[in-house]
Amino acid sequence: MTKGSITKNLIKFAIPLFFGQLLQQLYNVVDSVVVGNVLGKEALAAVSTTGSLIFLMVGFINGLFMGNSVIIGKKYGAGDHEGVSIASHTGIAFAILMGIVMTVWGYFFTPTLLKWMGTPTDVMPNSVLYFKIYFLGGLGNILYSACCGVFQAMGDSKRPLYYLIVSTVLNTILDITFVKFLGFGIKGAALATIIAQFVSAAFAFVKLTMVEGPHRIFINRLRIDRATLGKELKIGFPTGIQNSVIAIGNVVVQSNINAFGSVAMAGCGSYFKLEGFVFLPITCMCMALTTFVSQNLGAGEIKRVKKGAVIGSAIGISCAEMIGVIVFALAPIFLRMFSGDTEVIAIGTTQARTESLFYCLLALSHCLAGIYRGAGKTTVPMIVMLSSWCLLRITYITISVRLIPIVNVIFWAYPLTWSVSSIVFIIYYFKGKWLKIGV
């Protein structure tokens, strides 16, 4: 990332990420497609209502490991191979610990969390069952993410793709087998997911114990270095909080959607699955920018960092808006994958056409946040997201739903908050305070 064409480096790094994220999204969508078409809209609503909570838990933990990736990237850019090794071992050891904690916590607190969200009684049993089983795979989910973070920090975005291909195919096969042919219902969809998660984690971890390079993992060296963990948490904790506040805002949105019944839940849940595909180019370029900035700041290439920030953001924004136009035009067709119910499709289409043309703002916010994370400036994105994507979003929804009690007004919360965060991020960018060399 510190030499050669910036555009080529970013795209070369982002393409495997794109296909990996595409598979990851398909991986997540398979449950909804199979459940919605085999078990019906009530079961689809049960699976959909857990999405925000899953993002809340996993998003916080994964945010913590962003600090690990940034530290590894900077040390690798600076040629500190011993530092890369210590950071890699610390990150994986911490992932194992947090995976166990999340599994236990998520399993036992599932009913309480779903009650707080106001989940309707008719879908509560299936939601609890799906969520509890899903969290039994928490260790596999987090360990895979941490291992992939190490690869990506070193500039390798291909290996995670290979492992994800295997797990996605496995998840699809198991989903169809368990739900359609063996009649396991919601339980089968959740079991398919956690089995696939552990398989992908095993592939990634084993490969890290075999690679040649400073990031190679030796099992007998797996321990947490307190000083390194402190640096990683200083960067990663604000990112975890950022992910959480976004998720908290989404939980509030989901709670308000739940009040409109299972049809609204299924329609919006289907749209959120579709929207996940929109995030693909945004997420990939955001991750590419984080790695690019961290390595080049470690190498002291300030001019290259600035140029890469502009190029990467332009690519992410362009891709997101092109996809937005496609979603606006073809939303009903896409949503039929999840349900044939006309009411479900109508609500999902309304949400899609309200938000899709504003995807450029979503991309701009994420790309700039990725740049700041690569520079180790994770507090600013956290504050911006807390203010706009959580507090402002919650305030808007609370007021608007009471004044206009229809589900449509909820959808405008997203374009509004994307606009505010984009403006603040742009102002901070031109102040230039995020440019600072150091590990």
Token code pair at residue 129: 């069952």
Please tell me which residue, 6 or 438, carries the higher pLDDT value.
6
Are 56 and 248 contacting, i.e. CB atoms less than 8 angstroms apart? yes
Check pLDDT > 60 for residue 428: yes
- The mean pLDDT of 303-308, rounded to a whole number, is 91
Q: What is the pLDDT of residue 361?
A: 94
Helix (H, G, I), strand (E, B) or coil at 415: helix
Check pLDDT > 60 for residue 223: yes
- The mean pLDDT of 299-321, rounded to a whole number, is 90
Are 347 and 265 contacting, i.e. CB atoms less than 8 angstroms apart? no
Q: Note every long-range contact of 107-110, with CB atoms under 8 Å and residues 24 or more positions apart, other chains counting.
A: 107/132, 107/135, 107/136, 110/135
- Report pTM: 0.71
Select from 353, 335, 337 the least CA-distant residue to 345. Answer: 335
Q: For residue range 18-73, list pLDDT tens digits in order.
A: 777 777 666 666 767 787 777 776 677 767 666 666 666 767 777 778 788 888 98
- Structure confidence at residue 86 as a pLDDT band (50, 70, 90): very high
Are 119 and 41 contacting, i.e. CB atoms less than 8 angstroms apart? no
Q: What is the pLDDT of residue 252?
A: 75
- The mean pLDDT of 96-123, rounded to a whole number, is 82
Q: What is the pLDDT of residue 48?
A: 67
Buried b (16+ CB within 10 A) or exposed e, 51-60: bbbbbbbbbb
Separation of alpha carbons 139 and 143, rounded Å? 6
Q: For residue range 332-364, list pLDDT tens digits in order.
A: 888 887 777 788 888 888 889 999 999 999 999
Are 390 and 417 contacting, i.e. CB atoms less than 8 angstroms apart? no
Are 300 and 293 contacting, i.e. CB atoms less than 8 angstroms apart? no
Q: What is the pLDDT of residue 25?
A: 66
How many CB atoms sit inside 10 A of residue 31's CB? 27
Are 189 and 130 contacting, i.e. CB atoms less than 8 angstroms apart? yes
Check pLDDT > 50 for residue 438: no
Please tell me which residue, 223 or 17, carries the higher pLDDT value.
223
Buried b (16+ CB within 10 A) or exposed e, 141-157: bbbbbbbbbbbbbbbbb
Average pLDDT, the chain: 84
